[in-house]
Amino acid sequence: MSGPQNSMRTPLGRVRHHGASGEGTGHFIASRWTGIALAVLAPWFVFNAALSIGPSYTSVIDFLTDPVNAIGVILLVTVSFYHMALGMQEVIVDYILKPFTKITLMLLNGFGLTVLAAGAIFAVLLVNFGA
C-alpha cells in the first residue's frame, strides 16, 4: 500500500506536482519524443540516400530537390539539433559547477546549435530554390 508516508517526494513537491527542479519531466518527455522521431527519420534518410545518391554531385542535388526528401532532411536536421541541444543542456546542468562557465556554455549551446541548424536548413532550401 503506497501513500504519502511512503512517497519519496517532498510535501511541497506533492502539492505542486513537480520534481526537484520543476521542469525535469518536460525535458525528459522532449528527449524521448525527439529520440523516437530520430529513430524513424535517421533510417529513412540512410535508406533513401543509399538508394538514390550516386557518386556524383548532381545525384546529391537531385536527391535534395525532391520535395519529400527536402522536407525529410529539414525535419531530420531540426529534430537532431534539438535533441542534441537537450542532451548537451543536461550534461552542462549536471556536471558544470561554476556559474559563469555554466551560463556561457548554455548560451553557446542555444545560439551555436541554432546557427548550425539554420545553416543546414538554409543549404537545403538554397538547393531547392536556387540563389
Write out pLDDT tens, residues 13-69: 666 655 555 567 888 899 999 999 999 999 999 999 888 888 888 988 999 999 999
Say whether 53 sits in a helix, a strand or coil: coil
Answer yes or no: is 46 within a domain.
yes
pLDDT digits (tens, 9 = 90+) for 81-122: 999 999 999 999 999 999 999 999 999 999 999 999 999 999
Answer yes or no: is 77 within a domain.
yes
Answer yes or no: is 4 within a domain.
no
pTM for the model: 0.79
Task: Please give the tally of structural domains in the chain.
Answer: 1
- Residue 23's pLDDT is 65
Answer yes or no: is 17 within a domain.
no
**What is the CATH number for 72?**
1.20.1300.10
Answer yes or no: is 80 within a domain.
yes
Half-sphere exposure for 65 (CA within 13 Å, toward CB):
9
d(CA 98, CA 9): 28
d(CA 43, CA 40): 6
Q: CB atoms < 10 A from the CB of 33, how many?
A: 13
- The residue among 81, 75, 119, 85 whose CA lies nearest residue 105 is 85
Answer yes or no: is 33 within a domain.
yes
- Residue 12's pLDDT is 65
Domain span at 122? 23-129
Answer yes or no: is 52 within a domain.
yes
